[in-house]
Structure 1
Amino acid sequence: MKPLSQLAAEQALSVRVVLTDIDDTITTDGMLTASAYASLEALHRAGFIVVPVTGRPAGWCDHIARMWPVDAVVGENGAFYFRYDRENKRMHQHFWATPEELRLNRQKLNDIEREVLASVQGSALASDQSYRIADLAIDFCEDVPALPEAEVDRIVSIFERAGAQAKVSSIHVNGWFGAYDKLSMAKTLLSDVFKIDWDTAREQVIYAGDSPNDEPMFAAFPLSVGVANVHALAHRLKNKPTYITHGHSGEGFAELASILLKATSQRSPARV
């Protein structure tokens, strides 16, 4: 991982789209700081397409799509994207699975939930689970004392034995049924909504993240950035980000935004 300061100006100038994780990438210790939020708004006003790509639930993503300075949001690790049409006051939702598939998957996830909570002492259902549609989130350090890494691995193995996918974020193990992840839904969103094909995306998209559930994005985009706290989970990553910030969490995201804004300040007029 190279210092973000080594990102060439011509590469920064090529960026049209900023995709970013939320937890511990935009937020810091669970808080959305003024500087990180201001960086989102500055990028949006400067004409970048800004899209959070998160493991957080549908209920949160409805709020984010409506009220944050973003163009869309991918949620529950790729289960859907939401895009709010501000002019017509309409929320557009696209789900990977059908309603019937979601219903059947929830039954299987309920079985996994019971097994995890009975088998892994100290684990808990994520506090945002009631706002989720497609996945199951098990808390291992957000609102509970941090579990040993071996116990996190046990949670992952329970999901996988049941045939589910499982990804570790900085706070949760998220599991679901379906052949999707953050990358597959991000690609769908870029193509469907913004008419950006994959070859173009690899040249125009930069992705920021901090944890193993960001790995598909780190692997796919040559311009990928880990905020400094990615070091804590780097041993879980086969595919690491190309660049790393000096600052942790929201400070690291603000660092990335500053570099992009500086490089592109003369490229196009800001939004009003």
Structure 2
Amino acid sequence: MRPIAEFPAADAAKISTVFTDIDDTLTSDGTLPAAAYAALENLRNAGINVAAITGRPAGWCDMIARFWPVSGVVGENGAFYFAYDSSLRKMRRAYFADDATRTANKAKLDHIRTRILAEVPGAAISADQPYREADLAVDFCEDVPPLDQNAINRIKQIFEQEGAVAKVSSIHVNGWYGDYDKLTMSRRLTKEVLGFDMDAEKHSIVFCGDSPNDAPMFGFFPNSCGVANVLDFQGQMEATPRWIARQKGGAGFVEIANMLLAAKL
């Protein structure tokens, strides 16, 4: 990981799209700073596509797609994307799995929920679970006293014992059934909403993130960026960002955005 200050200006000038995680990438201490939100708007006004790529639930993503200065949102770690067309006043929703499959998966996730709550003291189901459509989010530090690494590993292990995929973020362990992640649905959003081939033009995209569930994105994009708190997960990620901001959370995102905006002048 190299300092964001060393990001070549010529490469920064070619960036057409910014994908960003939300929790602890745009946010700081659980809130969205005005400066981070303004950075999203400044990027869009500069002609740069912006999309949020998050583990947060469908209910939140509907609001974000409607009201934030973004072209779309990938939610629940790749279960779907939402994109709002303000001229048509229409929300576009694309899911990895159909309704019947999501319903069947929910029954299996309910069993996992029971196991985790029984076997991992202190774990809780995320407060945003009622707004989810495809996954189960287990809280290990957002609204509960922080669990130790062994407990977090045990939550992930239970998901995997039941044949589910499990990813660790900075606040939750998310589990689901289906061969998808943030990267696979970002590829679909890029093609269907932004209108270009993500694989062919990956050098023109910056992804910003902070935690292990961002590893597929870090590994794919040559210009992936981490906010400083990504260092908290050293040794726990399959791939790390190429570039790293000096600051954590929202302030780190602003640092990255300002670097890109300066290159457009």
Q: Could you tell me the TM-score, scaled by structure 2's length?
A: 0.99
| Counterpart-to-counterpart distance in 2, 1:184 and 1:16 | 19
Residue 183 of structure 1: aligned partner: 183
- Structure 2 counterpart of 1:240, one-letter code: T
| Counterpart-to-counterpart distance in 2, 1:199 and 1:62 | 27
- Structure 1 counterpart of 2:257, one-letter code: A
Residue 64 of structure 1: aligned partner: 64
* 1:234 to partner: Cα distance: 1.8
| Counterpart-to-counterpart distance in 2, 1:247 and 1:196 | 32
| Counterpart-to-counterpart distance in 1, 2:241 and 2:91 | 32
Question: SS at 2:55's partner residue?
Answer: coil
| Counterpart-to-counterpart distance in 1, 2:138 and 2:199 | 36
| Counterpart-to-counterpart distance in 2, 1:213 and 1:197 | 23
- Structure 1 counterpart of 2:192, one-letter code: D
* 1:156 to partner: Cα distance: 0.2
- Structure 2 counterpart of 1:211, one-letter code: S
Q: Could you tell me the TM-score, scaled by structure 1's length?
A: 0.96
Residue 234 of structure 1: aligned partner: 234
| Counterpart-to-counterpart distance in 2, 1:172 and 1:193 | 28
Residue 101 of structure 2: aligned partner: 101
* Superposition RMSD in Å: 0.7
Residue 48 of structure 1: aligned partner: 48
* 1:24 to partner: Cα distance: 0.2
| Counterpart-to-counterpart distance in 1, 2:132 and 2:222 | 31
* 1:14 to partner: Cα distance: 1.3
Q: Could you report, residue by residue, the CA deviation over 1:152-206 in whole angstroms, capped at 9, with x for unpaired residues?
A: 0000000001000000000000000000000000001101222211333311110
Aligned residue runs from structure 1 range 153-192, under 5 A? 153-192=153-192
Q: Could you report, residue by residue, the CA deviation over 1:29-65 in whole angstroms, capped at 9, with x for unpaired residues?
A: 1000011111011011111110000000000000000
Question: SS at 2:106's partner residue?
Answer: helix
| Counterpart-to-counterpart distance in 2, 1:240 and 1:98 | 32
Question: SS at 1:200's partner residue?
Answer: coil
Uncovered stretches (5+) of structure 2, i.e. residues with no partner: none
* 1:235 to partner: Cα distance: 1.7
| Counterpart-to-counterpart distance in 1, 2:6 and 2:79 | 34
Residue 255 of structure 2: aligned partner: 255
Q: Aligned residues: percent identity?
A: 51
Which 4+ residue blocks in structure 1 deviate beyond 2 angstroms? Answer: 198-201
Residue 19 of structure 1: aligned partner: 19
Residue 142 of structure 1: aligned partner: 142
| Counterpart-to-counterpart distance in 1, 2:15 and 2:234 | 25
Q: Could you report, residue by residue, the CA deviation over 1:66-98 in whole angstroms, capped at 9, with x for unpaired residues?
A: 000111000000000000000111100000000
Q: Could you report, residue by residue, the CA deviation over 1:105-144 in whole angstroms, capped at 9, with x for unpaired residues?
A: 0000000000001100000000000000000000000000
Question: SS at 2:24's partner residue?
Answer: coil
| Counterpart-to-counterpart distance in 2, 1:105 and 1:3 | 42
Q: 235-244 or 109-118: which moved more?
A: 235-244
Question: SS at 2:201's partner residue?
Answer: helix
- Structure 2 counterpart of 1:134, one-letter code: A
Residue 130 of structure 1: aligned partner: 130
Question: SS at 2:77's partner residue?
Answer: coil
| Counterpart-to-counterpart distance in 2, 1:64 and 1:249 | 18
Q: Could you report, residue by residue, the CA deviation over 1:224-250 in whole angstroms, capped at 9, with x for unpaired residues?
A: 001000000122012110000001100
Uncovered stretches (5+) of structure 1, i.e. residues with no partner: 266-272
| Counterpart-to-counterpart distance in 1, 2:97 and 2:156 | 22
| Counterpart-to-counterpart distance in 2, 1:190 and 1:208 | 16
| Counterpart-to-counterpart distance in 1, 2:166 and 2:11 | 33
| Counterpart-to-counterpart distance in 2, 1:120 and 1:43 | 42
